[in-house]
Amino acid sequence: MIESKRLRAGILLPPYLWLLLFFLAPFLIVLAISFGETAIGVPPFTLGWPPSLFSWEILAGDSLYLRAWGNSLLFATIATLCCLLLGYPMAYAIARAPGRRRDLLLLFVILPFWTSFLIRVYAWTGLLRPNGTINEALLWLGLIEAPLPLMNNAFGVVLGLVYSYLPFMVLPLYATLEKLDATLLEAAADLGATPRRAFLSVTLPLSLPGILAGSLLVFIPAAGEFVVPDLLGGPDTLMIGKVLWDEFFTNRDWPVASALAVSMLVLLGVPLALLRRAFAS
């Protein structure tokens, strides 16, 4: 055990100070600026006393923001469920594969995570656009007569979210399924349980921590996603992360962008806290 107090301080202080300065302090500034007002100048806002509730009134008064929030939560929820439905069998099959194969199968789940996220989302635009690969193939086969609307709508956004975050679901599920004690399943079989029954009453309950962790790892970043709704979405599929981006870069309304960031942090605070508990146990 490293007992020296000075060593402890030397190890702890540099990252602590870095995070206070570049992680915590910025949030306090965002909170402050959300109570400011837009102005023409550099920087384009003013802070006064008493604090201005102007941007918060805009946030509460314009249904655009409420719709964007609704979309974010809805799309993130659907994407999480799809990831679970596809990711669970994948993790299950990998966990049951023989040792050497298992490493390779796992590697192929992680590999996309190492390649550019932006490029992977962009790759879908070539597949989904009206004159893209899928539509051209279906037209050529004579299965459809006019191109299907596959992107710039909710379908495109959810597909993009599932595609981007699927590995985040598979990995924690694999971690819990791999540790599962096989003798429990043997015991269930010896006692006369069908494979289906054994799965439902042994495997599934024991993998709940993995399901929870995976779902949160998909849901939280998906709800705040910007690239996917921007490249695969349309005017009807605004999500909160995209709205924040537009407020900041297009409208140059920093106080409203700040208020949006605060609202995201508050609303995502609950799943974030759940995730911390899931990891702690």
State which of positions 100-139 bind another protein (CB under 8 A): 103-105, 107-109, 111-112, 114-120, 122-127, 129, 131-133, 135-136
Q: Which of residues 66-85 bind another protein (CB under 8 A)?
A: none
Total H helices, total E strands in the chain: 15, 2
Beta-ladder partners of 46: 37
Q: In the bound complex, what is the minimum distance in angstroms from residue 46's beta carbon to another protein?
A: 12
Q: In the bound complex, what is the minimum distance in angstroms from residue 226's beta carbon to another protein?
A: 5
Give 202's DSSP letter.
I
Q: Which of 18, 20, 41 is nearest to 29 (CA)?
A: 20
Q: In the bound complex, what is the minimum distance in angstroms from residue 245's beta carbon to another protein?
A: 6
Residue closer to another protein by CB (options 191, 266) is: 266
First to last CA, the chain: 24
CB within 8 Å of 15: residues ≥ 6 apart? none
How far apart, in whole angstroms, are the C-alpha atoms of residue 237 and residue 76? 12
Residue closer to another protein by CB (options 23, 191) is: 23
Q: Name the one range near another protein by CB under 8 A: 13-21, 56-64, 150-158, 182-190.
A: 13-21
The per-residue DSSP string of 31-92 comes to HHHTTSEE-SSSSSEE--SSPP-HHHHHHHH-HHHHHHHHHHHHHHHHHHHHHHHHHHHHHH
Q: Which of residues 144-163 bind another protein (CB under 8 A)?
A: 163
Residue closer to another protein by CB (options 189, 221) is: 221
Q: Total residues at the site for another protein (CB under 8 A)? A: 91
Q: How many CB atoms lie within 10 A of CB 208?
A: 11
Q: Which of residues 161-220 bind another protein (CB under 8 A)?
A: 163, 166-167, 170, 216-217, 220
Q: In the bound complex, what is the minimum distance in angstroms from residue 258's beta carbon to another protein?
A: 7
Among 51, 61, 89, 149, binds another protein (CB under 8 A): 89
Q: Which of residues 238-257 bind another protein (CB under 8 A)?
A: 241, 244-245, 248-249, 254, 257
Among 188, 256, 268, 278, binds another protein (CB under 8 A): 268
How far apart, in whole angstroms, are the C-alpha atoms of residue 65 and residue 243? 8
Among 74, 189, 231, 274, binds another protein (CB under 8 A): 231
